[in-house]
A and B are shown apart, each in its own frame.
Chain A
Amino acid sequence: MTEALERAVVPPVSDADPFAHEVLVEPEPLHQALREAGPVVYLSRYDVHALARYEQVHAALVDWQHFESGSGVGLANFRHEEPWRTPSLLLEADPPRHDAPRRVLREVLAPPALRRLRETWHTVAEELVDQVLAGGTEFDGFAALAEAFPLRAFPDAVGLGPDGREHLLPYGNMAFNAFGPRNDLVAADAHRVAELSVWVNAQCEREALSEDGFGRQIWDAADRGDLTHEQAPLVVRSLLTAGVDTTVHGLAACLYAFATHPEEWRRLRERPELARAAFEEAVRWQSPVQTFFRTATTDVAIAGTVIPADTKILMFLGAANRDPARWHDPDRFDLTRDPSGHVGFGMGLHQCIGQHVARLEAEALLTALARRVERMELTGTPHRHPNNTLRSWASLPLRVQPAA
């Protein structure tokens, strides 16, 4: 340690606030500055080390041995601070505790298991698109499509009851804010924490879930002993926390991308099988999950900088996904590029377990739109909704020209 410290590189220091509203709404300038400053930057305001280059973010994501999640993947360090809710068994757990919940959820959400949903979701998407177009050619793409589609498709697949679904997005928004500092965004939700948590927790119980959804399959796994009955509701909660807002904002990113890149929309219309690649490129380009933290398990050296044990590391997934050292012309939304390897879903042991669900939702919606919509364009300024973790949207005013 002493030797390592003596030779250690002192990282550049920044007093920027990555959680300030203007940064959350438009993060690229800060991302660029951090990438250019060095492989590791010390953020004095929060006393954390930050990684914004692809190489270091990728390396930290896969190295669960040195960068743990169990102390929280937000700014709060669970070794010293009380979490606001029971920590997630997936996101906020390390091996060995992470193993069984991950395995069960992976089986429930594995691509072959999702095949039975494919047709249903394509139908739901077509109905939704027809309905929206029947209502006119100008609408808020965020509310009418990006929010509406997952809210129709996903809660049914989980097996939620019909009541109270309007709590899902506010709950996710609150949970993702809670990974950041206790700023005004967190304070704004303070009065709702109890109410939303009670509702979400109630949905995770066996009795609340229909016979045939993901939720019940998780409880079935507990009956087989693959999980404990105490773990089952928390695993269902992971689905509800991580499965809605991320997809909604990922879909909004797709719509925004196509409304501002008409030539790419033409390409998708010609080759609808590019729908999945388009979603992937949108996730790279707009990274719905912008940041996550890890905690150093020992003194760990990154590019010569020693990050002390038990301190937090902030990984900028969104910045890594636009690192010019990894991507050619990274700020371009480009359907001809191969976005494989982006870290928008994370990487390694904690890589997003619901990614196949999100891809399937995107494929269904984009395919339905590509069939019915000739062109789409913005009719006004889209509005972002600041969130401490998500690159999220409030509105996306669109005009579409239906296909003949």
Chain B
Amino acid sequence: MVGTSLVADAGSGAGAERPTPTKAATLTVSAKEDIAEGVVSLTLTHPGGARLPDWTPGSHIDVVLPGGAVRQYSLCGDRWDAYAYRVAVLREPAGRGGSAHVHDRLRPGDRVGVGGPRNHFPLVPSEKYLFIAGGIGITPLLPMMHQAELLGADWQLLYGGRTRSSMAFREELTAAYGERVHVVPQDELGLLDLAAWLGTPRPDTKVYCCGPAPLLAAVEAACVSWPPYALRVERFSAGAQTAPVRNTPFEVELRRTGHTVTVTPDISVLEAVRRAGADVLSSCEQGTCGTCLTTVLEGQPDHRDSVLADHERAANDCMFLCVSRSCGDRLVLDI
């Protein structure tokens, strides 16, 4: 699931270098590593060495590639390291070019625009967990397993992939967690035996699954007789995050004062409206606290915050000025 293209490459200028959306959210690729067949990991850090916004297991970030394409990748590093994000990217030959770009073109030292982190796949408290990963779907589950260990929960991982060599983090997981980890390469052992693992509902267990759509469907089918909410899947639905990120200036009209300002790619909407003399409060300036929430009267915001739920994003009636931007040429705000 991670690395799946969710958003079509925006506009016709794919491949051309364009400025990234905001300065604040531009990170440096500080390391790139081959970690399995067809999988690279990227380490992203702040160009000025600053702390990055906090995240929780299951969170993803949006990565804006040159040309404006946006891809979502789950964070799979260590949240105790506040200075680096780590993601793993699968090359998808059938994809729209995002993963190929990461594999073939992105180099250490390059800058990328980053949105989020946001979490639609949070780890809820439980005594027992069954984690089921298909291929690169292992990434959001990695920090969850670490967390389950810290909490003293009982857990197991069922990890399927095409071949042993294509399964990222396989060796580390086995070394760290031993018998909790069940590695099932398809060419050796066939498909995951979901009937055996999920056939009998266990009310004390939460099932977390991330992987390709057919795996999610099979796990959902196998869990129908489980208690409601026992199964949690990562679902990057096309509807959730289709906002194209524009890298061109847009206009913001401040309805109450009557001013109109242009927001250029190098400044936030917050900065732009402040320059126009509007009093807007902010606090974290990272899209995590909600202080700068502003009512949107017209236009469609490109939400980059970590606070709003999907239905709140879809309503298009409010936005966080410190990080969010515009999908269209114009926004009208109630300030």
Listed in ascending order, the chain A residues whose CB lies under 8 Å from chain B are: 62-65, 95-97, 99-100, 103, 106-107, 110-112, 224-228, 231, 273-274, 276-277, 280, 338-342, 345, 347-349, 351, 355-356
Contacts and interface: CB of A to CB of B under 8 A. Distances in A.
27 contacts: A63-B51, A96-B123, A99-B56, A99-B122, A99-B123, A100-B122, A100-B125, A103-B119, A110-B309, A112-B312, A112-B315, A225-B126, A225-B230, A226-B122, A226-B229, A228-B125, A231-B125, A274-B279, A277-B279, A338-B281, A339-B281, A341-B282, A345-B283, A347-B284, A348-B284, A351-B284, A356-B293
A351 B283 contact: yes
B289 A351 contact: yes
Contacts of A339: 281
A97 B281 contact: no
Given A65-B80, A103-B56, A341 B290 contact: no
A95 B79 contact: yes
A140 to B, nearest CB: 30
A227 B293 CA distance: 27
Contacts of B290: 110-111, 355-356
Interface in B90-133: 119, 122-126
Interface in B203-218: 206
B271 to A, nearest CB: 12
A316 to B, nearest CB: 19
B124 A97 contact: no
A226 B124 contact: yes
B283 A347 contact: yes
A176 to B, nearest CB: 22
B233 interface: no
Looking at chain B, what size class is its interface with the partner chain? 35 or more
A97 B56 CA distance: 11
B124 A227 contact: yes
Nearest to B147: A96
Given A341-B283, A351-B283, A351-B284, A111 B293 contact: yes
Contacts of B284: 347-348, 351
Which of A110, A112, A355 has the most chain B CB within a 10 Å cutoff? A112
A96 B151 contact: yes
Contacts of B315: 112
Contacts of A342: 283
A225 B208 CA distance: 13
Given A99-B122, A112-B318, A225-B124, A349 B281 contact: no
B309 to A, nearest CB: 7
A99 B122 CA distance: 9
A227 B126 CA distance: 9
Given A100-B122, A225-B124, A340 B283 contact: yes
B275 interface: no
A160 to B, nearest CB: 25
Query: Which of B126, B229, B282, B283: most chain A CB closer than 10 A?
Result: B283
Q: Which 10 A-B pairs have the closest CB atoms?
A: A225-B229, A96-B147, A340-B282, A111-B293, A112-B312, A224-B229, A99-B56, A226-B124, A228-B125, A100-B125
Contacts of A231: 125
A112 to B, nearest CB: 5
B125 A227 contact: yes
Interface string B31-62: 00000000000000000000100101100000
A348 B309 contact: no
Contacts of B51: 62-63
Contacts of B57: 96, 99
B256 A273 contact: yes
From A103, A280, A340, A349, name the one whose CB has the most chain B CB atoms within 10 angstroms.
A340
A100 B125 CA distance: 7
A225 B123 CA distance: 10
B82 A65 contact: yes
Contact of A63 (B82, B256, B291): B82
Given A225-B124, A340-B281, 6 more contacts: A100-B125, A110-B312, A111-B318, A112-B308, A228-B125, A356-B293
B297 interface: no
A342 B279 CA distance: 15
B39 to A, nearest CB: 26
Contacts of A345: 283
B150 interface: yes
Contacts of B332: none
Contacts of A225: 124, 126, 206, 229-230
Nearest to B256: A273
Contacts of A340: 281-283, 291
Nearest to A277: B279
Nearest to B294: A111
Interface string B7-43: 0000000000000000000000000000000000000
Given A103-B56, A112-B308, A224-B229, A96 B279 contact: no
B318 A96 contact: no
B307 interface: yes
Contact of A280 (B82, B124, B230, B281): B281
